[in-house]
Amino acid sequence: MNKLEARNVNVFYGPNQVIKDVSISIKKNTVTAFIGPSGCGKSTFLRLFNRMNDYIDIFKMEGRIEIDGSDIYDKQIRVEELRKQIGMVFQKPNPFPKTIYENVIYGLRIQGIKDKKILDEVVEKSLKQAALWEEVKDKLKNSALALSGGQQQRLCIARTLAVAPTVILMDEPASALDPISSAKVEELIYELKSQYTIVIVTHNMQQAGRVSDTTAFFYMGELVEHDSTKMIFTNPKNERTQNYITGRFG
């Protein structure tokens, strides 16, 4: 069974249709890259999977999105529960103005977990997973805002990992970072693949090529092509995909 499944999804912002009849299947423990020019709907589509578009007043969706076979837009679904299962990392690092420690355990705090032993363990484990532990282990009580941009982003990833999701959505997670920090985040994505299903939106084609197993090319709200990353980059079936990846537009 596929981990994530979208069937005939249409999205409207008021009168504008921003996603047009998109269907896609995403396998467990793979990295899928969404690429496409600005405004193609890839971010909007990504945010459908943890229902982050729900807060937009004029947002309307048709179709069906499933995780492990169950409809996430079903009325029975509690959106808070869904988001514990599907974590998200944003474009700009957005740590809370709290300590590093408090940032990591935020998700557990809101679930009411108070056991210091559990919290300490989770902090260490998550920061290690996010390849940040060695850099911050002696200053867990310092403000997260004092970290560099790259460290902040890895902290945000650690914060997401701490609630033990099965899927991680990443919305251009490295675009606001310098090349070295960016490389670290990419490396991290590669390592996380064994345990998580990752969907990443990126503007950076090389990045998509490096980290992803499959790539989906969006254009004007449509899913033009979804195939193995190798196929997309060496032998795209669609002419528009070819034009985009060879840099003829976008």
Partner 1 sequence: MPRIKEKIIETGLALAAVVTVLTTIGIIWVLFSQTIDFFSEVSIVDFLTDTQWTPLFADKHFGILPLVAGTFLTTTIAIIVALPIGLTIAVYLNEYAPKSFRKIVKPLLEILAAVPTVVYGFFALSVVTPFLQNIIPGMAGFNALSAGIVMGIMIIPLITSLSEDALFAVPKSLREASYGMGSTRLQTAFKVMVPAASSGIIVSVILGISRAVGETMIVAIAAGQQPRLTLNPLVPIETITTYIVQVSTGDVAHGSLEYRTIFAAGMALFVFTFILNNISYWVKKKFQEKYE
Among 110, 115, 137, 239, binds partner 1 (CB under 8 A): 110
C-alpha span between 48 and 83 (Å, rounded): 11
Among 6, 140, 156, 157, binds partner 1 (CB under 8 A): 156
Task: Pick between residue 25 and residue 91 the one whose CB is nearest to partner 1.
Answer: 91
For residue 61, list its beta bridge partners. 11
Tell me which stretch binds partner 1 (CB under 8 A): 121-129, 159-167, 180-188, 198-206.
159-167
For residue 214, list its beta bridge partners. 32, 228
Name residue, tokens 């650690």: 158
C-alpha span between 187 and 190 (Å, rounded): 5
Among 13, 73, 96, 190, binds partner 1 (CB under 8 A): 96
> What is the nearest approach in angstroms of partner 1 to the Cβ of residue 250?
26
C-alpha span between 113 and 99 (Å, rounded): 18
145 binding partner 1? (CB under 8 A): yes
> What is the nearest approach in angstroms of partner 1 to the Cβ of residue 94?
4
97 binding partner 1? (CB under 8 A): yes
Q: Assess contact for 184 and 154: CB atoms under 8 A.
A: yes
Range 163-182, binding partner 1 (CB under 8 A)? 163
C-alpha span between 23 and 6 (Å, rounded): 5
125 binding partner 1? (CB under 8 A): no
Q: Assess contact for 68 and 3: CB atoms under 8 A.
A: yes
Tell me which stretch binds partner 1 (CB under 8 A): 37-45, 80-88, 197-205, 215-223.
80-88
Quick one: which of 216, 205, 165, 210 has its CA closest to 185? Answer: 210
SS3 for 39?
Answer: coil
Range 5-24, binding partner 1 (CB under 8 A)? none
Task: Pick between residue 169 and residue 223 the one whose CB is nearest to partner 1.
Answer: 169
Count other C-beta atoms under 10 Å from residue 103's C-beta. 24
Residues that bind partner 1 (CB under 8 A): 50, 52, 55, 57, 80-84, 87-88, 90, 92, 94-98, 106-107, 109-111, 145, 156, 159-160, 163
